Amino acid sequence: MEEIKAYIRREKAEEVIFALEEAGVPGCTAVVVKAVGAAVVPEESIIYR
């Protein structure tokens, strides 16, 4: 038995699960993950010196 962990976007979940079934994977578990912490805007996080 092997374990594969993957973080995928919600809109891709159905496509990935279907591909795993086609590849012969007998089952899978999906868990919704939400971000925690301060949101950082990329433009604001760049520090110029």
Tens digits of residue pLDDT in 4-49: 888 888 899 899 989 989 999 888 888 888 767 666 666 555 555 5
pLDDT at 23: 92
The number of domains in the chain is 1
10 three-state secondary structure: helix
pLDDT at 9: 87
pTM, full prediction: 0.58
Q: How far is CA 11 from CA 8, 42, 44, 49, in A?
A: 8, 23, 28, 39
pLDDT at 4: 84
Domain residues for the domain of 40 are 10-45
pLDDT at 19: 92
